[in-house]
Amino acid sequence: MKDYKDTRKHKESKPVVAICYDFDKTLTPDNMQEQGYIQAVGYENSSEFWNESNTLAENNDMDQNLAYMYKMRTMARGIMLFTKETLKEKGKDITFFPGVVEWFDRIRRYGISHEVIVEHYIISSGLKEMIEGTKVADEFEKIYASSFYYDEKGVAVWPAQVVNYTNKTQFLFRIEKGTLNINDPSVNESFDPDKVRVPFRNFIYIGDSDTDIPCMKLVTSNGGHSIAVYNPTTGDKTQAYKMMREGRIKYYAPADYSEGKELDEIVKSIIDRTAANEKLERIFSDKIKEQRSADENQSKEDRAKAEMILALENSRNFATTHSVIAQLKSVADWSQAESDELFRIGAENSQVKGVLRDYDVKKFYQKLLGKAKCLNDNAKQVKDIIEGTLS
């Protein structure tokens, strides 16, 4: 089995924000195939291509993405060589929403200024090869999209990867754990929370339609941030309202990626929040490690005694105090420090102090006094109350 260790990303010293994008109608106004390819294989109206593709899928119980990939390949016969290079060339014709080209580097630099590493990922049902031909291809840590297998002549002969709306979510888990290679089985391994490279709270998912809902829901329900974008030219927010109404997203904005626009401000605010939140998470993680280290250096018996002493300290009613005393009586030996703490509680805790002459409480403290090597002021006060010389 291949070793994927060299392809894995590991936890960074700084927090990582992973921004995951759909492609069609999220970064670009139209489906990528409609921006030159469909026309090149003889369709005047792109809707004809999609109608035929969807009919093919419906009539053959076929995945819609497999259907469009099949149509693209078969319609190229006699017109063009259906190669990776052909698809990458067609990718050069793809246009973007305002500000997209400058967006990725600007947001990365904003993250750096706030001690946050920002990474960009594509998770799309579109074609990887066409995305790789665009002017923004090098901006992404990884492009997860449908793709072809090519023969020795570079001609596409079979789907290599098909990404649809339900299996998109697997790539979020790969990004979370740093297991980016699609064949790396370690994505299924269990990771301790403090070993996860990108916790879901640090994910931003940006999409536009129902095909993004599983990813949006997964990110949102795990504390991350999902954003719906809509075409800034039409201003149609119908889909965004629907996703907000159904709890799929936290925010929506026009797909204008220019500096100072609403989307820019939302994402920068999330980065600001991440920077502050991760400082608290590091403190929390340090405290957990300290507590676990303390537990390792303390026997199970000592930890149980410490918890019983704490329970006595926190007792606030008659029933609770007597219940805790019954547990304390089961312990044969107390250290000097533990005895001193029990005497302090007896002298200072008004609830415990008020029942010191009750039979069970009195017997417990009399036994403790009998074993004490020396009596401090709290022990003497408890002794005096029990013996009736002090009220």
- Looking at residue 390, its pLDDT comes to 64
Q: In what order do the strands lie in the sheet with 225-230?
A: 156-161, 142-150, 117-127, 16-21, 203-207, 225-230, 251-254
Residue 248 has pLDDT above 90, yes or no: yes
Q: What is the dihedral sign for C-alpha 378, 381, 385, 391?
A: negative
Kindly state the tokens that stand for 350.
């008004």
CATH number of 5-28+96-285: 3.40.50.1000
Assess whether pLDDT exceeds 70 at residue 391.
no
Instruction: Please tell me which residue, 74 or 187, carries the higher pLDDT value.
Output: 74
> What is the predicted pLDDT for the residue at 242?
95
pLDDT of residue 344: 94
Q: Report the distance separating Cα 23 and Cα 39, nearest Å.
A: 20
Output the pTM of the full model.
0.76
Assess whether pLDDT exceeds 80 at residue 298.
Answer: no
Dist. CA 163–CA 179, nearest whole Å: 17
Over range 268-275, report the average pLDDT. 96
Mean pLDDT of 105-131: 97
Q: What are phi and psi of 189, to 5 degrees?
A: -75, 155
Half-sphere exposure (CA, 13 Å, Cβ side) for 353? 15
User: Phi-psi bin for 78: left (phi > 0), alpha (psi -120 to 50), beta?
Assistant: left
| Mean residue pLDDT across the chain | 93
Average pLDDT over residues 348-367: 93
- In the predicted model, what is the mean pLDDT of residues 316-323? 92
pLDDT at 63: 94
With bands split at pLDDT 50, 70 and 90, how would you rate the model's confidence at 54?
Answer: very high
Diameter of the chain by CA atoms?
A: 110
Residue 257, C-beta contacts closer than 8 angstroms, at least 6 positions apart: 27, 97, 98, 99, 100, 102, 103, 263, 264
- pLDDT of 16 higher than 90: yes
Instruction: Write the pLDDT tens digit of every residue in 155-172.
Output: 999 999 999 988 999 999
H-type helices in 152-237, by residue range?
169-177, 213-221
Domain ranges of the chain: 5-28+96-285, 300-387
Please check the confidence at residue 295 and state whether its pLDDT lies above 90. Answer: no
What pLDDT score was predicted for residue 191? 81
CA gap 55, 364 in Å, rounded: 83
Mean pLDDT of the 332-352 span: 92
Percent pLDDT > 70 in the chain is 99
Determine the pLDDT at residue 113: 96
pLDDT at 222: 94
Task: Note whether 296 and 329 are within 8 A (CB).
Answer: no
Confidence check: pLDDT of 193 > 80? no
pLDDT band for position 152 (50/70/90)?
A: very high
- pLDDT surpasses 90 at 362: yes
* Whole-angstrom distance, CA of residue 11 vs CA of residue 178: 8
Distance CA 346, CA 332 (A): 19
Per cent of the chain over pLDDT 90 is 80
The residue that leads in pLDDT, 292 or 78, is: 78
Between CA 238 and CA 260 the distance in angstroms is 24
Question: Given a cut of 80, is residue 220 above it in pLDDT?
Answer: yes
Query: Shortest CA distance to 132 belongs to which of 99, 175, 94, 103?
Result: 94
pLDDT at res. 270: 97
Residue 358's identity, in one-letter code, is: D
Position 4 scores a pLDDT of 72
DSSP state of 195: G
> Token digits for 8?
């894995």
Q: Give the pLDDT confidence score for residue 1 in this predicted structure.
A: 58
